[in-house]
A and B are shown apart, each in its own frame.
Chain A
Amino acid sequence: MNAHILLQQLVNGVVLGSVYGLIAVGYTMVYGIIGMINFAHGEVYMIAAYLTAIFLAALTLLGIQSPPVVILMVLILTMAVTALYGWSIERIAYKPLRHSTRLAPLISAIGMSLILQNFVRIAQGARNQGIPTLLDGGVRLMENGPEQFVQITHAQILIVVTAIVSMGALWYLIQGTAMGRACRAVQQDRTMAALLGVDTDRIISVVFVLGASMAAVAGTLVTFNYGSFDFFIGFVTGIKAFTAAVLGGIGSLPGAMLGGLVLGLSESIFSGFVNTDYKDVFAFSLLVLVLIFRPSGLLGHPEVEKV
């Protein structure tokens, strides 16, 4: 086994894992609070990728050039609009169904996911889109000869740092503010929280907004790193991020981050040493296996269904 390849795949895995973790947060928070899988969450990530490219082009047209300013502005604008998408999705497709049958929100979510995918395809065209490279170059470690080095690009460093910062901010929001306390209360017992004066509808909206913003961070960062995307990227990435959420224990925030890292690392190592064509098959098989053998995930609690 080649140590350089292994280390390189570990670096790639951490980067990939941070992205999965950021998206998984949205799945895990929504599942924790209203107990449904938000199938449209992957499309939120896809929309963020498009918004990134659009805001980047708009800023370039306005003549703003400095890369740090551009990156920060694009990130903030994308997060704002994507958060609004998250809020609207909940308001349109899920809120009216709060007291409906168990299947209704799931089917509505699938419908929403189809709507968003096709809306973007019709508005922006089906072809692959791209953005120019903003960050190039990188750091080479352990260099001893051609093809014998471990490279960490600047974009990869940006991804990991931003992911850590936004996860930290989210952690503070949930653990350190009054609103976060209300979120945790609603997650534990929605009826009791409502009786004690928590506006549960507002808290559910907040959770969707937070989840969408995190997905926006992921979408922006991945777009800066790869530079290419299409209207279908949300589907596979969405299932994988959900896998990460289940792997870490659905409903648990640290679990989502841990699950993202574990999935990212194992997927990178699989594609580096076994086969690239089957890396998605590997990830989906992992999902099936986790659900079979440890459905509560790494950090989750076993689910008890109450009457």
Chain B
Amino acid sequence: MPRKLWDAVLAGVVALLLFVPLTGVSLSGYTLEGHWQRPLWLAVGVVLGRLLLGWFLERRQRMVGTTRRPGWITAWIDDHRPYIVIAAVIGALLVPWWIGKYWLNVAILALIYVLLGLGLNVVVGLAGLLDLGFVAFYAVGAYTYALGHHYFALSFWAAVPLGAMLAAGFGVVLAFPVLRMHGDYLAIVTLGFGEIIRLILNNWLEVTGGPNGLRVPFPSLFGMDFGRRASPGHVTLHEFLNIPYSNEYRDIFLYLLLFLVVCGMVFLVRRLRRMPLGRNWEALREDEIACRSLGIQPVTVKLSAFGLGAMTAGVGGVFFAASQGFVNPTSFTFLESAHILAIVVLGGMGSTGGVIVAAVVLTVLPEVLRDFAEYRGLLFGCAMVLMMMWRPRGLMGIRRARFHRSEVG
């Protein structure tokens, strides 16, 4: 007991030394303002936290050797999996008709993050490659639509495949040389690439409009507009269907379209994980040397995961541009990459369901808790560190595809 107390006191002293200069005073001009209570509270928090941690570690020590039963939540989810999926799909289809314009936009953003999370999950969760510049491919998608429309009158429906291909192309060209080397280099190269793309978009005023951004039109459906009045040579949807005009239709349409894309992505990932390619991703993540000795080509396999991730981000980017009606470089900062990474990490790396839940929660929660917006980055950071300590392999655990027991006998 005295040892634990001693540890906690020591942690408190270190905390005081760390926090007094940075939180005890704040710079105001060339002089200082005192906030003496802040470091004290922080230090008290650290002491309590250290005591709790000691107690927790001791408890875990005692539990070593006893087999851990899966928690009741996991068991319940496992037993009711098909019902949960059906309920989620029906819920997601009903949502847009009720919630009003503001929350509809939040829901569209949430779906975009679900898509991005699923894409990054393939790269980070399944293939075990850390991609810190995911937002670069998102930007490539968004600007493909924006620039394509501005210079070549590209339509939304052409921008989706083109954005996906361009993003995947960038990803493959960037990652191919780097993937031949030690895995960690990929993280820093993607980080650098994310900044390169953002700086170019910001500085190349003549082409991208720089910080002023570009306007993006809303997609049409079979050549029909969603506006109140049709542009020349077009019909509007409400005139065609003979229903009263509402400005929510276009958002509902985008939501449903995105929902379809997300479902397609879930299906794709699900199938891929059972295919040799998906199994190779996970095998490479676990032990690259063993894989090479079994004749798996590490570079091609990793490249396919990275390319698929980049492609998803490209599609997400086109949808983002379409839903905002406007793009500028401030949407593609490193914090955005960190947000998507936080979704994947919190969702439990590798788990599709977890990523979907995390994406929705991390997008809707900041809207509900507006007052805590300032603490968003801090919370993401803490969540990442804590998740790595608590469950480095994901919240739900990795579920492996099993062989089915024979029905006979």
Contacts and interface: CB of A to CB of B under 8 A. Distances in A.
Interface of A: 35-37, 39, 47, 50-51, 53-55, 57-58, 60-61, 81, 84-85, 88, 92-93, 96-97, 100-108, 110-125, 129-132, 235-236, 239, 242-243, 246, 277-278, 280-281, 284-285, 287-288, 291-292, 295, 303, 305, 307
Interface string B17-33: 11001110111001110
A107 B341 contact: yes
Contacts of A246: 185, 188
B285 to A, nearest CB: 8
Given A84-B17, A103-B130, A284-B196, A305 B38 contact: no
A288 B381 contact: no
Given A37-B184, A102-B183, A107 B388 contact: yes
B27 A54 contact: yes
B73 interface: no
A239 B191 contact: yes
B21 A55 contact: yes
Contact of A278 (B174, B192, B203, B349): B203
A106 B187 contact: yes
Contact of B384 (A107, A123, A307): A107
Of A100, A108, A277, most B-chain CB atoms within 10 Å: A108
Contact of B392 (A104, A278, A281): A104
A129 B22 CA distance: 13
A122 B378 contact: yes
A243 B14 CA distance: 32
Contacts of A132: 30
Contacts of A113: 381
Contacts of B338: 110, 114
Contacts of A51: 21-22
Interface string B173-198: 01001100111110111011101100
Nearest to B180: A295
B131 to A, nearest CB: 11
Contacts of A107: 130, 341, 345, 384, 387-388
Contacts of A280: 195-196, 199
Contact of B382 (A88, A115, A305): A115
B132 interface: yes
A295 B181 contact: yes
B399 to A, nearest CB: 17
B181 A291 contact: yes
B249 interface: no
Interface in B155-211: 174, 177-178, 181-185, 187-189, 191-193, 195-196, 199-200, 203
B182 A305 contact: yes
Contact of A114 (B174, B196, B289, B381): B381
A54 B384 contact: no
Contacts of B385: 92-93, 108, 111-112, 115
Contacts of B288: 305
A307 B132 contact: no
Contact of A124 (B27, B182, B289, B380): B27
Contacts of A277: 199, 203
Interface string B384-402: 1101110011000000000
Contact of B200 (A47, A111, A281): A281
Contact of B32 (A61, A103, A303): A61
Nearest to B393: A101
